[in-house]
Amino acid sequence: MITMEKIDYVISVTGADYTVVRDALLAADGDVDRAIRLIMGEEKKEENFEEKADFDFKNAKKTKAEDFADSITNIGEEIIDAVKEIWEKGNATKLIVMDENDEVILNVSMNLGAIWTVIAPLASLMGVGIGLLSRWEFYIYLDDGKVINVKDYITNKHRMR
């Protein structure tokens, strides 16, 4: 078993970077002494070991989890952009977030909501992401009494392109 303590120890002894140490420990089946010998060149390396150490992380394919996280982030950014766009038109009064049971989760004046999204975009993205996963609905109330469903607004906006 490879633990962080083993990785830290091999790094401190060899001065190698994390990837090399991790690959050496994997090749040595978790044996710290053998991993050190592999890194120091005292033991013959497996052909596969060097290939693993030279793995190109920048060009690696994304995992499904990374793709999902990216899509949630993109959708969250679209919702925030739509809210800002409606707010900039000047007639929005409040933002209401409701869950799937039509219970109000958040009821914010658009002045406070705009400040909140400008000051803490990361927090708002996380909140929007959680809201999307929880099937929340985002509504903007206009001063003339009209209500805009933000998800529908985004869908219609994409259709017009």
Q: What is the pLDDT along the chain (161 residues), one digit of tens a residue?
A: 788 889 888 888 888 888 888 889 888 888 999 999 998 886 655 545 554 555 555 555 556 666 656 665 666 677 667 777 777 776 778 878 787 788 887 787 766 655 555 445 544 555 555 555 557 788 888 888 888 887 787 777 767 65
Listed in sequence order, the residues at least 6 apart from 111 whose beta carbon sits closer than 8 Å to its beta carbon are: none
Walk across the sheet containing 147-149 and list its strands: 104-109, 92-98, 137-142, 147-149
The CA–CA distances, whole Å, from 131 to 11, 21, 24, 100, 101 equal: 42, 40, 42, 10, 13
What pLDDT was estimated at residue 93? 80
What pLDDT was estimated at residue 122? 44
78 burial level (CB within 10 Å; 0-12, 13-18, 19+) = middle
What pLDDT was estimated at residue 84? 73
The CA–CA distances, whole Å, from 104 to 28, 80, 147 equal: 56, 19, 15
Residue 138 phi/psi, 5-degree rounding, is -115, 120
